[in-house]
Amino acid sequence: MAPLSPLAPLAARSFASGAAAAAERIQSQWINPTGVLQILLIVAGDVVGGALEQLSGGHITPVVFSFGWVGYAQQAFVSAISLHRLLKPPNANDPSYMISVPSGRIVTNRSCILNRILRDYDAWKPQEVHEEEHKAYIKYRRREASRDKRITEQDLSSFEALESTPLTITVFSASPNKEPGVRYRDKLWYSGMLIAIIQLGIACVPFALGGDWGPLYLTSVGTILAFATGSLPQFGKEKWGEAKRTSHRTVALTKGHHHRECIVIHGLGIGLDLEDLAMADWKKHNLLSGKKFGKKGKPKKQATAWPYTRMCTGILSICWIVLLISASGIRANSWYLVGIGALGLVQNAWVAASPTTPESQGLHLDFQGVTASDNALKALLIADQKFGGLGLALLKIYCPDLEQQEILSEWHYLQEEYGPMI
């Protein structure tokens, strides 16, 4: 057997010491993580943005300090300069429409709050609507079971297709008991305040035990910056724009002819002008900025950031970077900050994912009634007889392939065929 090389013991000792050093570094990182906090503050900016979309618009916006705030602050600054807005516009691949009643004028909705209210309708619709929809769905399933399977939707005309599909029309009116455009403080708002207090309480523990004020300093400054960012006035302007608070208009909100639910809202002279809200973003601020005109010489209604919004987002982005640099100096009690950031991230993710209600977005409604049928044409006729002109106005969105004259002639024929429905 060949003798071992003289370098073998040295190599073995070197390997053992390297393995021990690696284990020690990993162990020390888990005992007191350093460097990871800076990375976590940058990621998950979309979660913060979703929470701000849900809670912003008031004087105090309790979107708590969490991972992702530094990344979001930089995104907001870039968005304010390049896109002239802080909130994301509605998804162009999932449009919704506003129909003016009784004129039938159709407008593509550009309001983020109306789009989200319609998206989350299943979560806040009244119990009566659920019951009527269930009855209509049972009739629809029974009819489908006996239908001739050789006939497909492509073989049907627009009106025949409507007769074979269900439709629910729910009617609301503006509430006289609450001011329009002022958001209702719900459980999401109060939970944000509670979590912020809990975070500060956790940050006080290392200060009380050993006088380490670093976690308390970072948490306090982060909370102040988070609340300041969420309280920018432009959030409210982008949500409610310059919409009048004394609208008499009646409007309908739906996702189009493939969507089998429609929300009708009566302004009654005390509600937000939802048609204006759907048509345009908030008007541009004249201070330190010139007007922009369209092709016909009319001023454009576009979300152009106020000068001080750009200035504030720039200052706040710098402050968040300073906080990020300060976080790199934390060498002890890092787990407290990781726990605080994780708690804030869970809170913000819950807020962003929670369904929106009209009251939480400043749209206060009273339920008036519902019309649900397994035959969409019957639902439209009933709605038209209850609320003059409503059914005919909605027919334009549910039969997009027909001309105005065709719609009118067919509608009069249907009124004679079906007769009074109520």
Number of domains in the chain: 1
Containing structural domain, residue 67: 37-147+154-285+304-417
Rounded to 10°, the helix 390-398/376-386 angle is 150
Q: Looking at residue 88, what DSSP letter applies?
A: P
Question: What is the tens place of the pLDDT at every residue in 10-32?
Answer: 566 665 666 666 666 666 656 66
Helices in 56-169 by DSSP H: which ranges? 69-82, 112-119, 121-124, 127-145, 158-163
Q: Is residue 255 part of a domain?
A: yes
The pTM assigned to this predicted structure is: 0.79
Task: Tally Cβ neighbours within 10 Å of residue 321.
Answer: 14
**Which of 173-187, 188-202, 359-373, 394-408 is the most confident on average?**
188-202
Q: Is residue 329 part of a domain?
A: yes
Report how far Cα 188 is from the mean position of its chain's Cα atoms.
13
Q: Is residue 313 part of a domain?
A: yes
Q: Is residue 32 part of a domain?
A: no
Q: Is residue 3 part of a domain?
A: no
Q: Is residue 353 part of a domain?
A: yes
- The single residue listed with the structure tokens 């962003």 is 352
Question: What is the tens place of the pLDDT at every residue in 125-181?
Answer: 989 988 888 888 787 777 766 655 544 544 444 555 555 578 888 999 888 888 887
Give me the percent of the chain exceeding a pLDDT of 70: 73
Q: Is residue 27 part of a domain?
A: no
CB 102 within 8 A of CB 390: yes
Q: Is residue 29 part of a domain?
A: no
